[in-house]
Amino acid sequence: PRCSGPERNASLCILVDSREISSGSEIISCLKAEHGVKVQVCSLGGCDYIVSTRMAVERRTQSELLNSLNRTKVIQRIQQLQSMFERICVIVEKDRVKAGETSRLLQRTKYYDGLLAAFIRAGIRILFSSCQEESASLLKDLAMVEQRKNVAIQVPTEVRGAKEAALRFYLSIPNISHLAALHMCHGFESVKKMANSSPRAIATCARVSLQKAEEIYRYLHSGFDLQVLPEKRPA
Amino acid sequence: MTAKEITPVKAGAVSVPYGHVIGNEKWRGSQIAQGLQGKIKVILEDGLGLVDFHLSNRSCILYISEADLVAGNGFKRRLVRFRNASSLHGIVLVEKTQISDQYFPAVQKFIVLELGMTLLPVANQEEASQLIIQLVHEQSKDQTSNPFLRKKCSQLLEPSILRTVQQIPGVGKTKALLLLQQFVSIHQLCNASVQDLELVVGQAIAQQIHAFLSQTK
Q: Check pLDDT > 70 for residue B3.
A: no
Q: Taking CB atoms and an 8 Å limit, are B134 and A78 in contact across chains?
A: no
Query: Which residue ranges make up each domain of chain B?
Result: 20-140, 157-214
Pick the CATH number of B157-214 from 3.30.465.10, 3.40.50.2000, 1.10.150.20, 3.40.228.10: 1.10.150.20
Q: How many helices (H) and strands (E) does chain A have?
A: 11, 6
**Angle between the A71-84 and A110-121 helix axes, to the nearest 10 degrees?**
10
**Nearest chain B CA: its distance from A229 CA (Å):** 6
What is the rounded CA–CA span in Å between residue A174 and residue A222? 13
Among residues A13, A10, A46, the alpha carbon closest in space to that of A143 is found at A13
Half-sphere exposure of A235 (CA within 13 A, CB side): 0
> Burial, A5: exposed, middle or buried (Cβ in 10 Å; 0-12, 13-18, 19+)?
exposed
Q: Which residues fall within 8 angstroms of residue B81, CB to CB, at 6 or more apart?
A: B5, B8, B50
Residue A198 CB burial class (10 angstroms; 0-12, 13-18, ≥19)? exposed
Residues 6+ apart with CB under 8 A from A62: A92, A93, A94, A95, A106
A51: three-class secondary structure by DSSP? coil
Cβ within 8 Å, pair A169-B164: yes
Pick from B47-51, B108-112, B134-138: least confident: B47-51
What CATH number does the domain located at B20-140 have?
3.40.50.10130
Say what the pLDDT of residue A226 is. 82
Q: Which residues contact A13 (CB under 8 A, 6 or more apart)?
A: A37, A38, A39, A40, A143, A152, A153, A154, A157
Choose from B138, B178, B193, B194 for mutation: most chain A CBs within 10 A: B138
pLDDT of chain A, 235 residues: tens digit per residue: 444 444 456 689 999 999 999 999 999 999 999 999 999 999 998 899 999 999 999 999 999 999 999 999 999 999 999 999 999 999 999 998 776 666 666 789 999 999 999 999 999 999 999 999 999 999 999 999 999 999 999 998 888 888 899 999 999 999 999 999 999 999 999 999 999 999 999 999 999 999 999 999 999 999 998 887 766 555 4
From the list A163, A137, A132, A173, the residue with the least C-alpha distance to A51 is: A137
> ipTM of this model?
0.89
